[in-house]
Amino acid sequence: MTVPKKLFIKTYGCQMNVYDSERMAEALGGQGYVETQSPDDADMILLNTCHIREKAAEKVYSELGRFRGLKDARPDLKIGVAGCVAQAEGEEIMRRQPLVDLVVGPQSYHRLPELEAKTRNGDKALDTDFPPEDKFEVLKNRPKSKRAPAAFLTVQEGCDKFCAFCVVPYTRGAEVSRPADRILSEARDLVDRGVREITLLGQNVNAYHGAGATGDLTLAGLIWELDKIDGLERIRFTTSHPNDMGDDLIEAHGTCAKLMPYLHLPVQSGSDRILKRMNRSHTAESYLRLIERIRAARPDILMSGDFIVGFPEETEADFQATLDLIEEVNYGYAYSFKYSTRPGTPAAERPQVDDDVASERLQRLQALITRQQRSAQDAMVGREVSVLFEKPGRFDGQMVGKSDYLHAVHVKDSGAAVGDIARVKIVSSGANSLAGERV
């Protein structure tokens, strides 16, 4: 019997990278690799990287440097870089860090077996093409192992929006939707393996327009098809662009019971002047009206968003407009970032905001968001929610899961198994999670 080789994958960045890392592990599974939790005993180390902000990209090089000792001790160890840094920097990675044997972009994962074979012959392997074949189809023959109850499923990839700050259209390429039948069969397969909740992924997921049995389907159309799958209990999707929020999708939030009451809808700024310079093609007002319509369809929906502070030429008045918008929306969650200059994007050439000013704004914005997040979480106390149990907690009989609103919920003496969905009454609100009792 051959001894399996060990693969260590470290994942950075967005949920799509998490999904991609699973696919890469499967692709290399066919080459005799099994996953390991530590780089120390690995035969191959793969970093699945993110290029969205400068810090994210630089982390890769410092992490790679740390593998020198391992490679000195075991020259057969192969080191690979995948993901958006691989796509953006390509061969430059091998020049900067000669330890690297393999570089593979997000559109070429299905070619990993050939690339790995090349490294076994002592050659360097690089593939950052945007190949014509469907990588999802090539990668679909995964082993039928049991899965955690919540899973990601990529339905759309890439972006044509070209926001002035963003690298995604360059690293992930043009927007492409997967055909509906392939998504549905992947979803059925996940459900057969224990999955109860699926989060549909795409950089612009609500622009989904994949081929269906009788013409193209919108994301809402796809959600209604998924709704028919017995055993699939919860559907989520991320990330959405305000301009692609179709009427049928808004309506589905009110009428599709499996669609969870949580929506991540990034706005980036509350200043129309900045939104225009960001090339966002929506205004603060149009975003606020959109949220009104979404809340009319589903009054209890929890809104989440992304914000960039210190975008080139942002004034105090522009920043104040962002705070005003946040006050008006009242978010349940939000992610906020200091603008990071990305070479090759239009905003990189413009007058930059002083770093101290941007840091101070970020602090103020985060303080406001934290307050809103906290009060949204506290408002759950006394309410009944449904919880999907994902893992045992620290104490005997305790289980941890997610509510329909995506809050983490701890339940003592739950009497539940991983994968169960139960009604839970929330009794208290802690720092980052809720505690509840089975109803």
Q: By the criterion CB under 6 A, which residues form the site for ligand SF4?
A: 159, 161-163, 166, 168-169, 203-204, 241
| DSSP assignments along 268-303, one per residue | B-S-HHHHHHTT----HHHHHHHHHHHHHH-TTPEE
339 binds, among ligand SF4, ligand F3S, ligand SAH, none (CB under 5 to 8 A by kind): ligand SAH
Angle between helical axes of 15-29 and 112-120 (0-180°, round to 10): 60
Nearest distance, CB of residue 178 and ligand SAH, angstroms: 17
Work out whether 134 is an interface residue with ligand SAH (CB under 6 A). no
Tokens 């392997």 belong to residue: 125
Interface pick for ligand SAH out of 306, 313, 360, 420 (rule CB under 6 A)? 306
Nearest distance, CB of residue 172 and ligand F3S, angstroms: 5
DSSP assigned state of 412? T
Nearest distance, CB of residue 403 and ligand SAH, angstroms: 23
Nearest distance, CB of residue 66 and ligand SAH, angstroms: 26
Q: How far apart are CA 392 and CA 418, in angstroms?
A: 7
What is the gyration radius of the CA atoms in the chain, in angstroms?
22
- Amino acid at site 9: I
8, two tokens: 């260590």
If the CB atoms of residues 108 and 204 are measured against ligand SAH, the closer one turns out to be: 204
Work out whether 53 is an interface residue with ligand SAH (CB under 6 A). yes
Work out whether 263 is an interface residue with ligand SAH (CB under 6 A). no
Binding to ligand SAH (CB under 6 A): which residues in 162-181? 165-166, 168
How far out from the chain centre does Cα 247 lie? 24
- Beta-carbon count within 10 A of 213 CB: 10
Tokens 């739950």 belong to residue: 414
Is-contact 82 10, C-beta < 8 A? no
If the CB atoms of residues 311 and 389 are measured against ligand F3S, the closer one turns out to be: 311
Nearest distance, CB of residue 192 and ligand SAH, angstroms: 30
- Amino acid at site 207: A
13 binds, among ligand SAH, ligand SF4, ligand F3S, none (CB under 5 to 8 A by kind): ligand F3S
Nearest distance, CB of residue 64 and ligand SF4, angstroms: 26
Nearest distance, CB of residue 16 and ligand F3S, angstroms: 5
Q: Which segment (147-155, 161-169, 317-325, 399-407) binds ligand SAH by CB under 6 A?
A: 161-169
337 binds, among ligand SF4, ligand SAH, ligand F3S, none (CB under 5 to 8 A by kind): ligand SAH
3-state SS record for 115-176 = HHHHHHCCCCEEECCCCCCCHHHHCCCCCCCCCCCEEEEECEECCCCCCCCCCHHHHCCCCE
Contact residues: ligand SAH, CB under 6 A = 52-53, 165-166, 168, 203-204, 239, 241, 266, 268, 306, 308, 337, 339-340, 342
